[in-house]
Structure 1
Amino acid sequence: MLLAVLVVVLATLGAGVYALEQQIRTRTLDSALQGVVIISSLVIDRSVTLDDITVRLHPANRAQLDTDVVLLQQKGELRGLMIWSLTDDRLVYADFDHQLAGPLTAARRAAALVGHPTAASATDPGTGEKLLAVSYPYDANGDGIVDALAVVLLPRRGVDTSIARSTHLLYGGGLFVLLVAIAGVLLVRRRQRDQDHAAVHDPLTGLGNREKLRRAAVPALAHATEARPAGLLLLDLDGFKGINDSLGHHAGDQLLAAVAAAIDRACQGAGTAIRLGGDEFAVLLPRTGTAGTLAVAQAVSEAVRHPVVLDGLTVEVGASIGVALAPADGTDLSTLLQRADQAMYRAKQRGGGVVRHDPADTGPEAGGMHVTLLPQLRNALEDGQLELHYQPIFTAAGDVRDLEALLRWNHPEYGLLTASDFLPAVKQTSLIHPLTEWMLRTSTAEAAGWRSAGHDVRLVVNLATQNLVDDALPELVTGIAETAGLPLSALSIEFREATLAADPPRVAAALTRLADTGIAVGLDNVGAGTTHWLTVARAPVSRLKIDRELVRLLPESLAAERIVAGLVRIAADLGLTSVVVGVESRASADRLIALGVDGLQGYALCRPMPAGKVPNWLSAWQLARSSASEVAAS
């Protein structure tokens, strides 16, 4: 109510100020425009959002508009209000027959898009009342882009009467009231604009944030076609972590701000630049097409590489940029982000640059549950839905020296998921890095707690190929273990057999750097493919874990038994420990022990358990072992 009264006061008193400066006859239109600006600012702004214009007017917002319009109509300041969406030529709101205001002509649209209000005389055919139809451009998002056209119907006679009345009020001291009212409105308006800006912008760089991307994607994807696709760039800085760690977070923030400005300039107004968080950015290009999107991506890549001076020191970073196009790569923002993320990871594997999404990147399993779950995994990581279970590895003598960490997702809809349900798709994206860091921090902290309680066991963590070819991995692992208080000798890092083929010299060097710190290195899934024995000979691998499929074939295949026996002998000849996984029966365990394996792991011996159950299990197992030893000794 108070806001509506203030609108009336400002409209009438503002008209009076102009009455003192010009003749009423020559400035009726100007006065009307001023009133419309105020109506637009204080009536439409508080009730209409960008989603109302680009998607659908929310019922609560419609009710608020109806209330404000009726109040102004009762005051005689307004005849009617109509809002047109310029994104899709759709009538968003009208409390009168929109034909009364005339058609949405090309001239009206053109004037609105460049920010110019226009006015025309109109007549109510039912009453013969003379009206002014003022077309006012409306920026719903506060970003300088006209999203809608507000058509405000004013009573012509009411405008003239308002001007005369306001003149008398001014002579009676109304000028002071006007100034106070205007100051109050401007202050409220400024605070509202500041709040609106903060809701969709990153405070460090000034670029848009995730909410800005979400809003901008609605009209961009709605109008994307095969002939004129919308583009999404996802980029991650190469080399930022080293600069941030060596020069400090202040310098890192300066670098991010400089990179953000370079990205924004490279877009040349063709799209919306976004900071997603950390050193990850995105650019949404609604109308550039395929060639234009790739051209902007290349321009962004070159702009990011430009040297930046930080506290007198010149530094350079690069960017790995993934490109996805709508509708070819997806018709919703979540899918496009996933596709662009996959392409960005390919770019990072190649050492940076621009890579367009290739459908083959999703892998044969991506058409199922993996990709369905992948967009949810970022939130799962932040919301604490992930957890680790632990499965012991037994020696042939029945002792437990190791506990392997196994990733689980406590999904709110599907229940407890194993890593095989979602990890294959994750390994193709840059999400593997924060997931790995979370896994290391969680497992080392839990293992350190068990050791403090007197349980002398080693932690085994299985990492992906993408982790091993990351040059920062050794420092990451040692730093996390030291922070948790876990001795490096109490940690074993394992990789799948296929890792050896990724980049043999680089893999061997990374394994050596890990082993030099005192961390044990193991090779998993041996026998599942072609093992690169030359790399095994050069790298400091201390344990071979034989693939479960060979174990599964043991009861029915003499060849499988001979292969397992051969792998056990090779491990022994190389001075390595051999472990078999997937032991599902006591008979298989006995047979494997007879073949000479050093360790066994599987459901027949112990199922994986949540971290909270590990201490009690270890205590019970140690007690049982002690009792068995005493019985044997007696």
Structure 2
Amino acid sequence: MASRRRAEPRALTSWRVLLAVVVVLTATVVAGVAALQEQIRTRTLDSAVQGVVIISSLVIDRSLTLNDLVDELHPANRAQLDTDLVLLRQRGEVRGLMIWSLTDGRLVYADPDYLLAGRLTDARRRSVPLDHPTAGNATDPATGEHLLEVNYPYDANGDGIVDGLAVMLLPRRDVDSSIARATRLLYGGGLVVLVIALAAVLQVRRRQSAQDHAAVHDPLTGLGNREKLRRVAAPALTAASERHPAALLLLDLNGFKGINDSLGHHAGDQVLTAVARRLEQICPGAGTVIRLGGDEFAVLLPRTGSEQALAVAAAAREAVSRPVVIEGLAVEVGASIGVATAPVHGRELSAVLQQADIAMYRAKKAGGGVLLHDETAGTDETGSRHVTQLAQLRQALEDGLLELYYQPTFAATGEVRDLEALLRWNHPQYGLLAAADFLVAVEQTAMIKPLTAWMLRTATAQGAAWYAAGHRTRIVVNLAAQSLLDDTLPALVIETAAAAGLPLEAISLEFSEATVALDPPRAATALARLAAAGIAVGLDNVGAGTTHWLTVARAPLTRLKLDRELVRLLPGNLAAERIVGGLIRIAGDLGMTSVAVGVETPGTVHRLTELGCDELQGFALCRPLPAGEVSAWLSDHSSIEVA
């Protein structure tokens, strides 16, 4: 409702502007048509006058002399005028003719219908210009027919002095029909111009509406975006009070990254769209559902207290957790939801959003669920889920239900450079789970240490077997923040690689930029300790927004791996291309290898190659492979066609 109330005045203003434009256009077209109509009328009358001039030169000039005007009209000349006039009347060109002498005002000649016209009156003399022909209206006294009267000043001997005035009466029907035809065409053309102009205005209006809609909506899900949240939150949070608070829910999907990694972004987009529709269904009428970006959503609830907000959050969590069927395959995601309220947690969107984000982060650390900011612990349901998931994962580690998949990284020339180890859990109930589905419950617990040891042990053993078979590819293992800050990690890597028979240069560790940003000084020290031990280290998710460049400058890193969401915008997004190009140049200037992940289309491959990216990884090149298929794949694919 808040968003509707804000949108209506904007739309009303737009329609008022549109109406004003329509009125101005209509007035302009009507005025233009009227002006052109007057020009047509004037030109038509001028044409009639010119016709009279021609007739006069053919009839009056040859039949009338100066003596006829000064004295009496010679009978022969009168007979000639009668003959010519009869012929013109038969042809319908002329209805009557009168000629006055300007010397004495005498009526020199008149056809039989106008013999009673009488002398030239002073009023007529004053009303008729004597320097050029003029046209006016007249009426046939016998029939009442409207006629055209043309006054033609006549110079009988060509000395420049007007000697007589000839008045010729013409039928108006030809003139009127000519004006009517031109007017109809003119109004038709004006209508066409008006319709075209209105269509152009409406097209501009539609484009403006589309641009306004795109500015505040997510193109994938159709939900509002951050700008929409900013617009609707301001009045809702400002109006919030202790009696009528407002609430903000911040929701992050659990397990979404695994769906993207295993099924591709097309499947991920379908999940996001399904989640969006479900959130809209559970959202109260006054609420607004927002997609903030990636797999993060927000729900703004005006005039809603914490209890009601928690109830909506619980409904949202239940709705999101229902399976989504993608091409016959049912996939599931969970949700971590943080709740904050105004005015308790602030009246500014940034403050309330920050508190909701803190609550959401705590919920995610607890394994998912709903948390209200400032609560000291999650609900019993959340705690039990956390404990249950940890217990199951610990049992899975003991039962051998964990395994590693490997996704190759390719040089720009097509050679296989690395194999990135990706953790998978063969869950007895949910099938094959990606690391993103369960690692959030482990990363801040003591279990991360045995899990890290298992990953290193398994990866080095499998890598050693491929190395012995002649496949000189490096194994890359991505580890958690807690592992990076563990002082025993360098020794663990060295001992594990030696036990497996894998050269130390054939293994590399990676940590996300968010891991480094959590504690930059400690992270820089830990990275330096690994490098001093001869272990190559790379930084993952570079460009996601939390890169601590001072640490990058100080730490002896060997690889910068670009964030997949940034890479996904290529090609076509100029800003993303410039950012990616800049990161690639930074990596090169620092002596590091630039790696682009999430490469899903040939166009992205081609553009990254043009930008000079050193290595590429993604579904467009190769999907993650089970360990049992890697050796055969390496034998068949020592290199591929990259671009």
User: TM-score, length-normalised on structure 2?
Assistant: 0.40
Pair member with larger Rg? 2
TM-score by length of 1: 0.41
